[in-house]
Structure 1
């Protein structure tokens, strides 16, 4: 029997070489288009479960600098079916004075806790509104705006109802920009907000994060003159705003507040929240 006095045995070298080849092949595979989606298949959530800010912490949560908070802010929350039945009195007593409730997603989902959340926030005295989680790869902007309005996204000048929100952000189910070009995304958003205004008489609030807006709309500046901005940034400052907006109306600053739901600052005192509600 041959004795190998130094180095590695041929069989050992063969196993190492095979392992190296496998790792190289895997690295190459992961650089191919669609590989990330394939690798992430196991963690894609169920349709309808998306919620406001779901992608913010992973993609845009750590940036700082830029615009800071003003002296007067009014605390609010946003909730979805994930929160179930909400203890609205507890939130009210903690200082929360306004709320947004998820109503719909795409054209296939309605929040099963909507009635408790929407009516419950109103009953404790909050000014409240609803939001729609957009899926631009499933149906048109107009179709989704109509679905939203028909299923809880309407508006009335009662002093307690905020205009509806288009939640447009990272796609939890696939490609970040839903397979759309920047021009295509801008067209989709415009289709939604124009339809929403035609149905309700109000300009929809746009909820987004600056980095997503840059990537997926090319930092389009045409909505700032008409649609209030709700910007997501989990930090001590709101940071850079998307193009076209000189200030934010609302800022989602954390997904882990002391009480239920994501927590937000309204950029002004409570009378400014009422002014937005009244149009």
Structure 2
């Protein structure tokens, strides 16, 4: 009996291009970098974090001593920190009120750039302020060195012009989930070290660490190893800066209130204006 070859099913012949297209789509999907994990309902949107966001919720607030604030203007220089939350900032108003330095949020993780960065960063400089940029850390999304690169590449660099402050690592409570970003104390210290080392290698300056003593204690085990090289910016909304994290005997900057005039977050540099400019120069 002669063997007759069965014709190929027309459905099978059409399925091959479809299968190829499906596989191609799958490969393209796998090649796209993963976005940060979705947050639980009711949590802030990624990118909305700002310096001190968790301080009120976790440490509370005591009214600042206004007389102390006025008296310290000679030895401590007034500053502000801003993010996209403030939008376009009235820098001449702040300057006239005695504010001489400012920090602007530049980046968060490796997925967010402040859309108001140019107005805030250049605007403060243009009125005569000494200014710098800060990075809101998200240690659960990417590594410390990777985030330092992202920060430097998007406005967080430093120049020795006497009016640019070193970059700041804002490391505090996670507004999107676990307070310590799901990291052990030793893993958190490693992450911070990786960020600081990369920032120093990219810019030649040691980054400032912004944190609160309670967070630092809970999430790093009150690690003291950065105090010798990295200035401290302490967050505490009260009439005194309180107990500092281990290793630091004094702060370089202090965020003392979230209810200041014109811009809520106000700060003090621990020194006069000439010392502030020396710090900027490095």
2 CA distance for matches of 1:212 and 1:115?
31
Q: Structure 1, residues 145-184: CA drift from partner, whole Å, max 9, x if none?
A: 0000000000000000000000000000000000000000
**What SS class does the counterpart of residue 79 from structure 2 fall into?**
strand
1 CA distance for matches of 2:61 and 2:153?
37
2 CA distance for matches of 1:114 and 1:89?
17
Q: Which runs of 5+ in 1 are unaligned?
A: 1-39
Is residue 2:185 matched to residue 1:186?
A: no
Q: Show structure 1 runs of 4+ deviating over 2 A.
A: 40-43, 61-64, 68-71
What is the deviation of 1:63? 7.6
2 CA distance for matches of 1:126 and 1:157?
15
Residue of structure 2 in register with 1:258 after alignment: 261
* Contact 2:185-2:221 within 8 A present in 1 as well: yes
Looking at CA atoms only, which structure, 1 or 2, has the larger radius of gyration?
2
Q: Structure 1, residues 86-129: CA drift from partner, whole Å, max 9, x if none?
A: 01000000110000000000000000000000000000000000
TM-score by length of 2: 0.82
1 CA distance for matches of 2:149 and 2:130?
23
Is residue 2:232 matched to residue 1:233?
A: no
Residue of structure 2 in register with 1:215 after alignment: 218
Residue of structure 2 in register with 1:54 after alignment: 53
Q: Structure 1, residues 203-261: CA drift from partner, whole Å, max 9, x if none?
A: 00000000000000000000000000000000011000000101000000001102214
2 CA distance for matches of 1:134 and 1:238?
23
What is the deviation of 1:60? 1.5
What is the deviation of 1:58? 1.2
Residue of structure 2 in register with 1:9 after alignment: none
**What SS class does the counterpart of residue 52 from structure 1 fall into?**
coil
Q: Structure 1, residues 57-76: CA drift from partner, whole Å, max 9, x if none?
A: 11113489xxx997711000
* Contact 2:145-2:198 within 8 A present in 1 as well: yes
Residue of structure 2 in register with 1:149 after alignment: 152
Q: Please tell me the root mean square deviation across aligned C-alpha atoms, in Å.
A: 1.6
**What SS class does the counterpart of residue 209 from structure 2 fall into?**
strand
Summarize the alignment of residues 1-279 of structure 1 with structure 2, pairs less than 5 Å apart: 41-62=40-61, 72-279=75-282
2 CA distance for matches of 1:110 and 1:140?
17
For structure 1, which segment, 231-240 or 68-77, has the greater mean C-alpha deviation from structure 2 after superposition?
A: 68-77
What is the deviation of 1:55? 0.2
2 CA distance for matches of 1:62 and 1:122?
30
* Contact 2:257-2:264 within 8 A present in 1 as well: no
1 CA distance for matches of 2:47 and 2:187?
23
* Contact 2:140-2:181 within 8 A present in 1 as well: yes
